[in-house]
Structures are given as C-alpha cells and as structure tokens.
Structure 1
Amino acid sequence: MKSSDRIKIPLGFWTGLQQLGIAPYDVARQAELPLTIISDPVVNSVEYFAIWQAYNDLIGDTAKGITGLVQAIESAQYPPAILATYHARDYREALNRMVRYKQMCPPESLRITERGEDCTIELAWVQAEQAGPPILVGITLACLLELGRRGTGQPLKARSVEFSSSMGDVQALEAYFGCSVKTGAQCNCLTLNRSDLDHPFVSYNEELLEILTPALDDSLDEQRRSRSTADMVKWIMKRSLTGGRPDIQAIAKELGMSGRTLQRRLTEENTSFKQLLSQVRHEQARQYLSDPILDIKEVAFLVGYEDQNSFYRAFRLWEGDTPSNWRTEHLVANSRPEARMG
C-alpha cells in the first residue's frame, strides 16, 4: 500500500457506530473486509469507501447516517490532527487547520474561499477518478459545521449546502444544517456565514496547540517531502480548475511558501507553473472527454476556460485535432472488441 493511500480509521468511528446500534463487525462483513480492520484500522481508499458504503447500507438512509454519526462521535475521540482544530483560537483558524491537516489523511481534500458574506468550503477527491460514497461527503461537510458549533458553543447555521448526489431524507439534512440543501449540484460544498468565522472558540487551548502543532507540521512536511513540488502543484491545480485559472500566489500559500520560492523550486525540477497548468488541463480534458455525457462546453469550463474557443485552440495544440473529433475517435477505439478485451 502506498503511503498516499494509507487511511487510518479513527477509533471514534467505531464507538459512534455502537452508539447508533450498529456493530463494527457487521460493517466489516457488509463491506466484505476482514474483521481485523477493527483492531488494525489502516486501509486503502477502496476499502475505506467500502466501509462507508457498508455503514450507509446498514443505517438505511444516507441523511440519517450523516446526522446520527456526526452527533454521536465525541470530540475527545478524534485523531490528533482533527482534535487540534477544536483547540484553535477561533472558527476561521480551526477551519484553516482542518484544510491543512486534511492533506495528511486522504482521500478527500478541502478548499476554502472567503468572498463577500460567504465562506465556501468545497470538497474534492485526491484521485479525481475515485469519488467516495455520498455518505462520506455528507459526513465531511457536516463535521465542518459541527466543528464550529462545538468550538464556539453556539448553534451556528450554514447559508447553503450543495451535494452532487442524492442524499436520502433532505429535510433531515436541512434540519441539521439549518438551511436549504441542494442535491444534483455540480460540486459538494458547504457555505457558511463569513462573520461566524470570527467567533472565538471556548475550547481554545494555547498550551495544547503548542504541543500538537509542531508534531503535526513535521508529519505534514515529511509527507510533502516524499512528493515533488510539481506533483503537489498539479494536485492542487486539479482541485481548483473549475474556479478559473489557478493563481500561483494562492497555490504557493496553500503549500506554505511564497510565490517566488514556488517558482524557484519548479525551476529546479525543470518545469514551470505555466507548463504544469497546461499539463493538468490537457490531462483533465482527456479524462472528461472520455465521458460522452459531458458536453464540450462543460469540459471547457471544468478545465478552467471561460470560453469554448480558447479551449478549442489549446486542445488543437495538445492533440492536433478538435475536442469533438478526438472524442469520436477515442470512443470508437474503446468500443472495439480488442480494446474491451485489453
């Protein structure tokens, strides 16, 4: 198992299940995984998704599974990376810590955008082709609101919540989030009142943070050193393409360095921000065009182009052909018997 695909299931997950009347052994059996995952809970992303889907199947309704488990897990049972967020100075610092430390425990990743009265947190997957089950999406976003509620001691409400999949009893989710919940959306995101981010945390503990933060930062730095700067930049780019052209300063900030330092490191790796952006757009365009359901205009938007003509020009440079011709030839090639057998 690659280190990037090692996911540790927190103890709080199993105890939370028991509070809901679900035996951990039943989840393991439903997921068709060995019972040893309960005592040695380190799995890969495929197994991780299977566990969440098994929980969903056993609980019966996705929304019920989300709201029940989020409220059942006690803060003290969270792993250190998550526990540290509960001792932040305020809600904003807690969310930023959550985004930062989430990099250590894939497969999901988070991106925060503050604009106007809104703070939007979007969930994406480290492996774009490997999307997790809806219940995991819901749990992740609900935990972010629960973080604010427990940390501030106030009954905070979200401004809006969007899910790309069906989520079961939407009314139960609306009652929990305190706002309208949209399904069938283009992305999975939670929008908060930006002013709520200024609320101080009653659980703020400076001494504990001084103990936890260095160890967590060292773990994150060690994980980052195992990957090239170019790989990390491409990973962040893939998450932010739909928001338009990724900005080098924003990506540098997410990596904890200045724009100038990022440019220097990419030069040392014989590449540039512009080259990586072109590579990412090319890779994502090929992936999206392989899905016949997506319209060419949608593909152009998904890879960060504001107009279709710009996308066409770029694609001709990459492939020497138009997106529609490439798609047709690719789909025909994949439909041949020898292609299917391979």
Structure 2
Amino acid sequence: MAENVYVSASLAELLRQYLDDEKLDIGGLRERLGTLAAQPRMAAETWWALLQQIADARPRPVTGLWIGRSARPHHVGVLGYLAMSCETLGQALLRFQRFQPLLHNLTPTLAQRRGDEFRLSWDASYARSTRLSDEVLVSALLTLARQLSGRGDLRLRAVEFPGEAPADLTPYTDFLQCAVHFGSHSLVVHLDAATLALPIDTRDPHLRALLDQQAEALLQTLPRVDALVGQLQQAIVQALQDGEPTLEQLARRMGQSSRTLYRQLQARGLTYKSMLADTRLALAQRYLADPKLSLPEIALLLGYSEQSAFTRAFKSWCGDTPLRYRRAGAALTPASPRDPAARKSLRPG
C-alpha cells in the first residue's frame, strides 16, 4: 500500500475512548495513541494494526462494532464540528461525503437516494480495508447519527459487508438491529430516506468547541466598530462552514437586504471583501497555532475548497505561506489584510 494512504489521527482518540469505556489496559498502547493523536494523520496500515491489537487483547464478537459505539463527534476531527453546524442529518451525511478525505483517503464515499432509501457506500475494489475497520465505520456512523439527532432509537435499514460471511450472523444482527449481508462488492449502509430530515440536536460539548473557538477568536482579536460589525463577523464565521459566503447570503443571515448591508458598510468606510479577509486572517492565525489542525482542515474551515487557494490568500496577507508561518511560531497579533504595514509586521523573522 502507498505510504500516502492515511486516516485522520483523531481516530486514535476514539480508540482511547474505547479503552476507557471498557476499562482496558493494554501495555503501552494508551501512550502510543496519545502520541499518534497529536499528529494530523496516520498511515492506514497503522490504524488497522491498532484495531487488530485491541481485538487480540480482548477477543469478542464484532469487536469493530463495539469500538464504533464509543465514537463521539470530535473523534472524526473537523467532520464532527462540521456536522454540528448542519441543520439536518441529511446535510451532515452529505457533508461527510464531500469532505471525507479529511477523515481518510482510502475509498470515496458514494451517497445515493433511491425512492424511500438513502445509501452510503464504499467500493471495496477501490482500496482494500479490513473487516474490523469496516465494522468501526458502520457502528461509528450509526452512533454519531444517533447523537447528532438525539434519536437513540435510530436504526439502519440494512448493512452489506464485503467478504465471506462469518459462521454466525447473530452478533451482527443483534448489535445493529437490522438486516446484515455479506459477499457484497462494496460496503453499503442503507437508511430510511426519512431520517435525512431529522434535525441536528447536538448535546456533546466537544461539538461546539471549534465553532466557539471561531467566535472567541473574533471577540478577542478583531476590533469592532459597532454592533453591526460584530454581527457581520459572527455571520461570516457561521457561513464559512459552507464555503465562501456572498454578500447576499450574509445579509439574509442578518435579516436585511444586501443593498442595506452594503450601504451600512459603506457608511463605515468598510467593504464586504475587506471584512471577509479580516475575519479569515484572524481565524487563520488562531488555527495555525493549533498543531492538531492540518492545513487542508484549516482551508476548509475558512471556506476554501482547496488548500492551494488558502495558501495564495494567506501569502497575499502576510507575505509567507501558512506552513512557514506555522513553523516560525508566529504570534497571534491581529492585523488587517488591507494595511501593508500590518502585513509586513506579520512576517515571521
């Protein structure tokens, strides 16, 4: 397998949570997981080996399903925080499909709706996986859907696993409470389409941590002219989760017309583009100080579809790439992208 095939290192926290939940002490494993969790990602081979080590230490039927049941939104990294910002479970699942490379780059997620059924699938011929890893994915997906929707009784319609069927399917059907099939070409999770409309009902405080951090970054680092500017900053923070917002989108969030918002900014000597750039810069500085956030994740949080676009924008603001800025341990002193002197002062060294 190629060395660049990875999973998010945030999954190491899931394994630590499972060890805590089951009160397992596997010599040296907890410390190793802590080291891995501090990195942005880990090799897929490492992930599979960790799962097997845990399964060998405590043999039990469907170990991967039990591990997945320990999942919390922050265990899937930025994807968990993005799910929190969604209005419905359907939006969260589609975001999972779109941004799945932040969690792993093994096999693309395919989402399909057929009549009253919604399917998520992963083609087994695209890249190999392991039964344990597939089990974790299915169980964690169900667990997180239940947590986000507040529906502990939420069930899957059916699951299809690749590979040969075990001698006894009972542990699978008892755990998942749905039809379970083996010998499929792909790993497929079937849900009732009606579940897509379930509202997100976040109760885990970890879900709010990153968005709270965004809001706090603005409160602490951006000067506010008045209440309107503060409201616009908050609207930008929320809208960035769905990509780069337009003036029209922000005006709707603030309950006014785009023409009115434009005039109000003009009266203050401000523009929408300058406000957006100022906000992104302040957030970028905060995120770059967090070693757990990778550059692709930061780009996503700032509303960029590609890391390269974020790199170009940041370099225009600060004169250095995000990577050089991070390595230099730049201070988090806020500065405006509109002020050349401020940009110069931001350059490390």
Pairwise TM-score range, normalised by the shorter structure: 0.5 to 0.7
SS of residue in 1 equivalent to 2:47: helix
- Give distance in 1, aligned partners of 2:20 and 2:38: 15
Counterparts of residues 195-206 of structure 1 (less than 5 Å):
195-203=194-202
Q: Deviations over 1:15-53 (max 9, x none)?
A: 322322334655589xxx999546557422222222222
Counterparts of residues 174-323 of structure 1 (less than 5 Å):
174-203=173-202, 208=211, 209-210=238-239, 212=241, 215=298, 216=300, 218=303, 221-222=306-307
Equivalent residue number for residue 128 of structure 2: 131
* TM-score in terms of structure 2 length: 0.53
Deviation of 1:224 (Å):
9.9
For 1:5, the aligned partner's letter is V
Change (3 A) 1:187 1:18: same
- Give distance in 2, aligned partners of 1:168 and 1:27: 31
Equivalent residue number for residue 158 of structure 2: 160
Equivalent residue number for residue 72 of structure 1: 70
Deviation of 1:114 (Å):
0.2
Equivalent residue number for residue 226 of structure 2: none
Change (3 A) 1:222 1:62: farther
Change (3 A) 1:36 1:149: closer
Change (3 A) 1:111 1:224: farther
Equivalent residue number for residue 85 of structure 1: 83
Equivalent residue number for residue 143 of structure 1: 140
Whether the 8 Å CA contact 2:109–2:122 is kept in 1: the answer is: yes
Equivalent residue number for residue 96 of structure 2: 98
Percentage of matched positions with identical amino acids: 15
Equivalent residue number for residue 22 of structure 2: 20
Change (3 A) 1:201 1:41: closer
Whether the 8 Å CA contact 1:101–1:220 is kept in 2: the answer is: no
Equivalent residue number for residue 114 of structure 1: 113
Whether the 8 Å CA contact 1:28–1:37 is kept in 2: the answer is: no
- Give distance in 2, aligned partners of 1:136 and 1:153: 25
SS of residue in 2 equivalent to 1:57: helix
Whether the 8 Å CA contact 2:16–2:30 is kept in 1: the answer is: no
Structure possessing the higher radius of gyration over alpha carbons:
2
Change (3 A) 1:97 1:46: same
SS of residue in 1 equivalent to 2:97: helix
Alignment gaps of 5+ in structure 1: 227-342
For 2:169, the aligned partner's letter is V
For 1:179, the aligned partner's letter is C
SS of residue in 2 equivalent to 1:109: coil
For 2:21, the aligned partner's letter is Q
- Give distance in 1, aligned partners of 2:37 and 2:80: 20
Alignment gaps of 5+ in structure 2: 212-237, 244-297, 312-349
Deviation of 1:115 (Å):
0.5
Structure 1 runs (4+) greater than 6 angstroms displaced: 204-207, 223-226
Whether the 8 Å CA contact 2:72–2:144 is kept in 1: the answer is: no
Whether the 8 Å CA contact 2:79–2:99 is kept in 1: the answer is: yes
- Give distance in 1, aligned partners of 2:176 and 2:167: 15
- Give distance in 1, aligned partners of 2:33 and 2:17: 18
Whether the 8 Å CA contact 1:159–1:179 is kept in 2: the answer is: yes
Whether the 8 Å CA contact 1:85–1:97 is kept in 2: the answer is: yes
- Give distance in 2, aligned partners of 1:225 and 1:5: 23
Deviation of 1:171 (Å):
2.4
Change (3 A) 1:5 1:119: same
Q: Deviations over 1:133-156 (max 9, x none)?
A: 111111112222223211221211
Equivalent residue number for residue 273 of structure 1: none
Equivalent residue number for residue 248 of structure 1: none
For 1:90, the aligned partner's letter is T
- Which is richer in helix? 1
Q: Deviations over 1:271-327 (max 9, x none)?
A: xxxxxxxxxxxxxxxxxxxxxxxxxxxxxxxxxxxxxxxxxxxxxxxxxxxxxxxxx
Whether the 8 Å CA contact 2:8–2:76 is kept in 1: the answer is: no
Q: Deviations over 1:191-223 (max 9, x none)?
A: 000111111112299994546555426575127
Equivalent residue number for residue 8 of structure 1: 8
Deviation of 1:161 (Å):
0.7
- The Cα RMSD (Å) is 3.8
- Higher mean displacement: 194-203 or 207-216: 207-216
- Give distance in 2, aligned partners of 1:13 and 1:213: 30
SS of residue in 1 equivalent to 2:184: coil
- Higher mean displacement: 162-171 or 192-201: 162-171
Change (3 A) 1:170 1:109: farther
